[in-house]
Structure 1
Amino acid sequence: MRRLSLSSRLALLFAACTAVVSLIAGVLFSRASEAHFIELDQQLLDGKLIGLRRALHDIQSSESQARLADELSRQADLALRITGADGQRWYDSSAQLPGQLPLTEGLSTTSHAGTDYRVLNAPLYPGKPDSPQLTLLLDITHHQHFLQRMQRLIWLTVGLSALATALLGAWAARSGLRPLRRMSEVARGVSAQSLKARLPEAQMPPELAQMAHHFNAMLERLDDSFQRLSAFSADIAHELRTPLSNLLTHTQVTLTRPRPIEDYREALHSNLEELQWMAQLVNDMLYLAKADHGLLMPKREPLELAEEVEALLEFFAPLAEDAQVTLKRDGHARLQGDRIMLRRALSNLLDNALRFTPAGGEVRVWIVDEANGLRLMVENSGEGIDRALLPRLFDRFYRADPARHEGRSEHAGLGLAITQSIIRAHGGQIRCESQNGWTRFVVELPKGN
């Protein structure tokens, strides 16, 4: 069964609400009109009862009968029946009166031969137990016809109101949902070749403005991810092309003529270096792929961060001495983390800092123990990085230095991307700051349990 559209649902909902409201209003108006007629009839019959009691003060006299006839002649739709205390009928003002009438005192309603009556029973002489009974009958057929016509009008109004509201509701819903159709059109037009379409947020109603904002933000992320993926593919081809070309050329040159065994050994050794670099590149890419899919599961073991940093500084000390760079560390903190993964991340940061620190410069490592976690900063002196380039430092294969150092694994442009993946796998964040001749990588990590 085909599901109703949102416009149809809203139209039916509007129609149902209008029908219910109209019906309730009509029923209340009908009940109020009926109560109003009953009140008027009560007042009329009470007034006639007083006049009839005066006219019938002496029921046996001819003068009373004359006054009775005069009183009844003033109200054409009024009839009277007088019965004795024993129930015997004494008098009927009309031969068309019903044979059986309600006997209870007070006001009641009855019908006879297509005529509706309002009936009032009261004693002729109040307070006397053997008093004759007066039964006043007021013809209210015209009142009932009016109420019936009004009820039919109410049902007709309810039906027409529901129909009109359904049509207007459908039009209003269709007009109001136009921004959603616009979103659908934009979404239908999104493809790998077309990610630039955006929704006009300023023209959206307030209820959809936030959705349009998030929809545009999603398109921005998709466009950025697609651009990064395209650049990533191009970078992979670029990185692998040179070593593959070197391997192919070197092998072809080696095979052009017979050579001594040492030449073949040297060629194989050279090819092995290229293959090792390519294998490392592929391993790094697989590592990042695991990180993208949340497959990096760091072990949780207690670590003294200062000891780990100190061990890495001892490892990099010969390189720093050759480059005439001073290494410094300060601070202590403990955390729960994966020793191997964190050492790899810190090693990438230290290697990056040493490569861009000029002779006579410094590389500092600061560890700050805080209440909600810890902060580790690796900073180096030297030429700063343009603020516009900072957000891209953690992109894969990205180098702030436009000169591409092809064929060197440690400079392939994956180190900072791997570092970011490791830090995020530990629930932390990393960012880069560069100002006043210092470039600082700030790592924020939770301490864990």
Structure 2
Amino acid sequence: MRRLSLGSRLALLFAACTAVVSLFAGVLFSRASEAHFIELDQQLLDGKLIALRSALQGADDPVLFAERKTQLQDEMSHQTDLALRVRGADGGLWFDSSPNLPTDLPAQPGLHTVQSAGTAYRVYSAPLQPERADSAQLTLLLDITHHQHFLQRMQHLIWLTVSLCALATALLGAWAARSGLRPLRRMSEVAAGVSASSLTQRLPEDQMPAELAELAHTFNAMLGRLDDSFQRLSAFSADIAHELRTPLSNLLTHTQVTLTRPRGLEDYREALHSNLEELQWMAQLVNDMLYLAKADHGLLMPKREPLQLGDEADLLLEYYAPLAEDAQVRLTRHGDAPIRGDRSMLRRALSNLLDNALRFTPPQGAVEVRIVDGDKGLQLSIENSGEGIPAALLPRLFDRFYRADPARREGSSEHAGLGLAITQSIIRAHGGTIRCESGPGWTRFVMELPRT
């Protein structure tokens, strides 16, 4: 079955709500009208009862009642829709104003409604002399057939009104829903026109209703993220081609030159060693790219083993000590904290940051590792002295193949610009965050990690 559209659902909902409200109002009006008729009949019968009691005052037995029978008939002839039946205390029939009255009437005093031979009666029974227990019983019967016909016509009118109101509301609701949902159709048109080559379209948020303004803002934000992701993907593809083109060109050129003429064994060995270096760098680049691809798909699953960050930092500082000594850079570590994490992954992240810091620290400079065990988690920072990084470049430091500025570019295949991207992936896999802070003469990478 074809699903109903949102406009059709709203139209049917409007129609159902209108039908329910109209029906409820009609039922209330019908009940109120019926109660009003009962009240009017009660007042009429009460007045007639007072008049009959006054006319029959003292007629306590059949003989005295027979003397006033003619007067009673005159009294009842004034109102053709009202009939009277009088019975004695013993149940004997004293008077019946009409021969067609129903025989089976309620014996209990009070007001009742009775149907007989297609005619509806309001029956009111009361004693002739309320103060006497053996008093004769008066039974007034008021023909209310015209009241019933009026109520039936009104009920038919109510059903007709409910049907017409539901139909009119459905039509008007469909028109209103179609008009009100026009911004959604606009969103659908924009979404249908989105492709990899056209991500610049945006919804006019200021023209949207208040209920859809937030949705439009979210939709535009999604388009912005998609546009940014496609731009980064395009740049990433271009960077991969650029990074691989140079070593491939070197391999081709070097191999072609080597094969231009016969050479000695040592020359071939030297050529193979040179090609091996390029191939090793390309293999490392491919491995790094695969590592980042696994991180993008949530496939990095770090082990959770107890570690001491201070010990791990000391091992890496000891490894980089000869390089720092040659570069005349001082290495220090402050603080310690326990953590549960993947030893090899955390070492790789710290190694990338330390290698990056040493490369950009001038002679007589310093690299400081600081570990702080705070209330909200662990904070590990690596700070180095040297030229600062402009604030405008900080958000892009963790992009793949990105170098901060021309002064920081090596110009060789040794560093492809993937170290910080890999470090960020490792920290995120551990549930932490990493950021870079920089100022004149210093740069600091700050990692915030949970303890478990």
1:166 to 163, 170, 183: 170
2:390 to 367, 383, 386: 386
Q: Are residues 1:313 and 2:317 paired?
A: yes
Q: Deviations over 1:197-233 (max 9, x none)?
A: 2222333333333322222222222111111111111
Please give the alpha-carbon distance, in whole angstroms, between the structure 1 residues aligned to 2:314 and 2:65. Answer: 134
Q: Deviations over 1:229-263 (max 9, x none)?
A: 11111000000001101111111111111112221
2:357 to 316, 334, 353: 353
1:231 to 213, 235, 243: 235
Please give the alpha-carbon distance, in whole angstroms, between the structure 2 residues aligned to 1:401 and 1:337. Answer: 33
Q: Are residues 1:408 and 2:413 paired?
A: yes
| Partner AA of 1:135 in structure 2 | T
Report which stretch shifted further, 258-267 or 413-422. 258-267
**How much does 1:171 deviate?**
2.1
Contact kept, 8 Å, 2:247 with 2:413, in 1: the verdict is no
1:363 is aligned to 367
Please give the alpha-carbon distance, in whole angstroms, between the structure 2 residues aligned to 1:400 and 1:92. Answer: 116
1:121 to 121, 125, 145: 125
Q: Are residues 1:193 and 2:197 paired?
A: yes
SS in 2 for 1:351: helix
Flag structure 2 segments of 5+ consecutive residues without an equivalent: none
Q: Are residues 1:77 and 2:81 paired?
A: yes
1:38 is aligned to 38
Q: How many residues align?
A: 447
Mapping 1:37-116, distance limit 5 Å: 37-57=37-57, 59=59, 60=64, 64-65=68-69, 67-116=71-120
Q: Deviations over 1:50-82 (max 9, x none)?
A: 111211235548984454344334434222233
Please give the alpha-carbon distance, in whole angstroms, between the structure 2 residues aligned to 1:21 and 1:28. Answer: 11
1:26 is aligned to 26
Please give the alpha-carbon distance, in whole angstroms, between the structure 1 residues aligned to 2:242 and 2:121. Answer: 104
Q: Deviations over 1:276-313 (max 9, x none)?
A: 11111111111111111222222222222222222222
Please give the alpha-carbon distance, in whole angstroms, between the structure 1 residues aligned to 2:224 and 2:348. Answer: 32
Cα distance change on mapping 1:230 and 1:138 into 2, 3 Å = same
Please give the alpha-carbon distance, in whole angstroms, between the structure 1 residues aligned to 2:412 and 2:4. Answer: 62
SS in 1 for 2:406: coil
| Partner AA of 2:345 in structure 1 | M
Q: Are residues 1:142 and 2:146 paired?
A: yes
1:426 is aligned to 430
Contact kept, 8 Å, 1:183 with 1:199, in 2: the verdict is yes
Please give the alpha-carbon distance, in whole angstroms, between the structure 2 residues aligned to 1:40 and 1:234. Answer: 94
Mapping 1:7-26, distance limit 5 Å: 7-26=7-26
Contact kept, 8 Å, 1:358 with 1:382, in 2: the verdict is yes
Please give the alpha-carbon distance, in whole angstroms, between the structure 1 residues aligned to 2:129 and 2:147. Answer: 31
Contact kept, 8 Å, 1:406 with 1:412, in 2: the verdict is no
Mapping 1:168-317, distance limit 5 Å: 168-317=172-321
**How much does 1:152 deviate?**
1.0
Report which stretch shifted further, 14-23 or 53-62. 53-62
Please give the alpha-carbon distance, in whole angstroms, between the structure 1 residues aligned to 2:377 and 2:129. Answer: 101
| Partner AA of 1:93 in structure 2 | S
**Large movers: runs of 4+ above 6 Å:** none
| Partner AA of 1:372 in structure 2 | K
SS in 2 for 1:395: coil
**How much does 1:371 deviate?**
2.6
Flag structure 1 segments of 5+ consecutive residues without an equivalent: none
RMSD: 2.1
Q: Are residues 1:446 and 2:435 paired?
A: no
| Partner AA of 1:408 in structure 2 | S
Contact kept, 8 Å, 2:190 with 2:201, in 1: the verdict is yes
Q: Deviations over 1:24-48 (max 9, x none)?
A: 2211221121112112111111111
Contact kept, 8 Å, 1:243 with 1:407, in 2: the verdict is no
SS in 2 for 1:364: strand
Cα distance change on mapping 1:349 and 1:92 into 2, 3 Å = same
Q: Deviations over 1:378-435 (max 9, x none)?
A: 11122211111111100110011237545423x2100111111111122211100111
SS in 1 for 2:202: coil
Please give the alpha-carbon distance, in whole angstroms, between the structure 1 residues aligned to 2:179 and 2:427. Answer: 50
Normalising by structure 1, what TM-score? 0.93
| Partner AA of 2:3 in structure 1 | R
**How much does 1:112 deviate?**
3.9
Please give the alpha-carbon distance, in whole angstroms, between the structure 2 residues aligned to 1:356 and 1:181. Answer: 55
1:334 to 329, 334, 338: 338
